[in-house]
Amino acid sequence: MSAVWSFPESSSLGGRDYDNASPQPFSLTRFPSNPDRLGVSPSLLGEPSRLTDTPPAGQEERLLLHYRSFVQRHLVQIRRENPDVSTGDSGFGPDLFEQEASTFPPLRYALMALSSLSLAHNEGSRNVLALQYYQKALSPLQNNLRSEQDLASNGAFLTHFILLLYEIAAAEPLWATHLSHLDRITQVRRNVYGREPFPAIVWWVCIIDTHALLCGIGRGTFISNLIRTGHVPTSADLIQAPGLVEPSSRVPDEAPMMPSTLDFHRAVTLLAAQLGLLASSLRDAASMRRSLGQITVAQASHPQWRQQVQELQESLRQAWRTQVPAALTAGYRDGILPARVHGIYEHTYLLYRACLIYSHTSMWSSQRTDTNSGYVEEVSQCASEIIDVVSETVRRRQFEHGFVVFPLFLAGIATSSAADKMLAHELMRAMEQESVGNNKRATRKLLEAVYEAQNARQMVVGHSLDVDWIQVMTDSKLHVINFGL
């Protein structure tokens, strides 16, 4: 039986309260689908913006400093150990976005928009300047692309990526537009270049798309297309190529263990995507049958659905048993792995346990009431392990480790322990102490909404197994990708 949980009056772990800080909405015109109708190439690089608002003197220097000192580490989340800050070494290596922005103004404006959003959020002020920079970044992309070569440019690709992160950080719904553009641009870039110059960026978009899929607000089109065409970046691509972090081939202490770590990470992430795709399919089938009044037909399908889920669960367990070298597990346990190897392993460790919880609880709306109680022990164990890891993350003040947020959210909603629910909520609030935008806050608000729905059902029927967190998200209009920005 689920425990009734109540919100504490204050959090012993909590930091600043961002409840009153929210972004201002604005509209975005979609790209035309025909590249021949897209604007003129030279103005991508040189046309002055039509906006008359000019940032105050020194504003861009302040924004760039904030990007380098704060935003970048929250985007990358994992860096090399012991960077020499006195020499300007951030621990991430040369910043790809700054390099490309030096010759592509829309990307520079996008970076300024993201940095402005972060400053406005942290200072509790309105993000007017962020919106101005956003429009300055977006306008050339909407109006001044004439050819596939323009569309395939590194600048256009990276600008849309940064604007995607902006929308996720702002907890606004327009992220889907940029994800759709990135899907098309990625396909065009393969046609133009033969292979993707920045596979690490493509991989990060895959992770974002997978999170959107698992949150029930995406269709997984980006990663599905890559899987279908065989263009998912390989572990070797991620080791050698430039991206969000310095290539591992240039960091000698990582070389022995990074290939196996990335193999494991890639395998679990692709299984997470398959899990999300299956859940989307099952939820669509259940919704259609309910709308047609075919409740008994839907219930008759549950054994087949459970079999499909069990096969994916076994694939996850098999990946854990066979793709994780004993030395990697021992090194993580003993705290002796290089920092980035440790971080990627921990990211995957949490994602694996989140996937097991998800597979038992979130594949269709009535899953837990349609399934026997044999799953309870595994869910409880995974939730406890996730909370333990995030507790250590908070203790170390590693608030940039946004990859812990979605697993922590699932642990909180799935555990039947009132104490663990309270701890998950306090840890979530603690992670808000450092945020690029409203994404962490929105995830915490969703967690609270689910807790309230669970409490209400507990009072009425004595359990909360029939509370569907994705439906709660829809009803609460909290459509958020739990990505931890």
DSSP characters over 238-273: HHHS-SSS--GGG-GGGTTTHHHHHHHHHHHHHHHH
Instruction: Compare 6 and 38 and report the one with higher pLDDT.
Output: 6
Measured distance CA(321)–CA(67) in Å, rounded: 40
AA letter at 403: F
- CA dist list (Å): 10 to 18, 311, 316, 343, 473: 14, 43, 38, 31, 24
Residue 17 confidence (pLDDT) above 50: no
425, pLDDT greater than 70:
yes
The pLDDT score that the predictor gives to residue 36 is 28
pLDDT higher than threshold 90 for residue 146: no
* Confidence at residue 288, expressed as pLDDT on a 0 to 100 scale: 80
CB atoms within 10 A of CB 6: 11
Residue 340, pLDDT score: 86
> Whole-prediction pTM value?
0.85
> For 296-309, what is each residue's pLDDT tens digit?
544 556 788 999 99
pLDDT at 430 over 60: yes
CA nearest to 468, candidates 482, 484, 449: 449
According to the model, what pLDDT value does residue 44 have? Answer: 38
Nearest-angstrom CA–CA distance, 407 and 336: 24
